Amino acid sequence: MTSPPSDQTPCPQPGTGLRADAERNRDRILAAARRLYATEGLGVSMASVAREAGVGKATLGRRFATREELINAVFADRMDAYADAVAEALGDPDPWRGFTGYLHAVCAMQAADRGFADVLTMTFPTAKALEARRAESYNAFLELITRAKNTGHLREDFTHQDVVILQMANAGVIAATGDAAPDTWRRLVGHMLRSYAAPGAPIPPLPEAPAPRALYRAMVRLSQAGPGTT
């Protein structure tokens, strides 16, 4: 028997099609979760993710057994970018400039993705990779605080908890304003930097306040969502 021509496509190995289907399902789930988390936050149910992805709940459960596993997979790259932002700030020869730039960068990440805004203000003990990157960023940020204080520009009573408070406040502003006044977070960060700065420290210009009509639309939007919701 002669061998088949060299350009003939070989027969797929048993199970290859199943593995490809599983990988496609995983990709669909991750893409759907990213879309929903970015626009609606982490309160989205696993069932909603399955519907958005066009898969059954059993399929979702086989790929990601828990909500934390899904969150870990969705936000792994964003946590990498978060860690990179701290490293870049530490690399700035002006620690105060690195500090202010870092806060802007992190708050911009929150504004770009509502789900990530939630991730930065929550902990997920079973999402090991996510929490490892968070811990790495935390330790680097402690060093950034020390360096910025040594310049005399960062207040001595500033603590790392103040950044968690800022992230919580920023997440709330982002959720409340939505598309009605999407740049409002910049004003918040500008005011907070002024509160962190020691007398005489160089401070970036304060961003403009949102237009009254835009802020009114945001207030209407928030009232329609109901008390205690965003």
Kindly give the confidence (pLDDT) of every residue in the chain, 230 residues in length, as a single tens digit, with 9 standing for 90 and above.
444 444 444 444 544 555 778 888 899 999 999 999 988 888 899 999 999 999 999 999 989 998 888 998 898 888 888 889 999 999 999 999 999 999 999 999 999 888 887 888 788 877 788 888 888 888 999 999 999 999 999 999 999 999 999 999 998 999 889 889 999 999 999 999 999 999 999 998 999 999 999 999 999 988 887 654 55
Question: Using CA atoms, how far apart are residues 36 and 175, in angstroms rounded to an integer?
Answer: 14
**Same fold: 18-65 with 75-225:** no
One-letter amino acid for residue 20 of the chain: A
Task: Give the closest residue to 52 by CA, choosing from 73, 38, 31.
Answer: 31
Length of the chain: 230
Q: Provide the residue ranges of all domains of the chain, joining segments of one domain with +.
A: 18-65, 75-225
Phi-psi region of 219 (alpha: psi -120 to 50; beta: other; left: phi over 0): alpha
Q: Among all chains, which residue has been given the structure tokens 């409340």? A: 176
Question: Using CA atoms, how far apart are residues 122 and 164, in angstroms rounded to an integer?
Answer: 10
Q: From 1.20.1630, 4.10.860, 1.10.357, 3.40.50, which CATH number describes the 75-225 domain?
A: 1.10.357
pLDDT given for residue 226 in this prediction: 61
pLDDT given for residue 178 in this prediction: 83
- Which residues, 6+ apart, have CB-to-CB distance to 129 below 8 Å? 72, 76, 79
pLDDT given for residue 8 in this prediction: 44
CATH topology of domain 18-65: Arc Repressor Mutant, subunit A (1.10.10)
pLDDT given for residue 18 in this prediction: 56
pLDDT given for residue 229 in this prediction: 52
Neighbours of 90 (CB within 10 A): 16
- Reduced to 3 states, what is the DSSP secondary structure of residue 154? strand
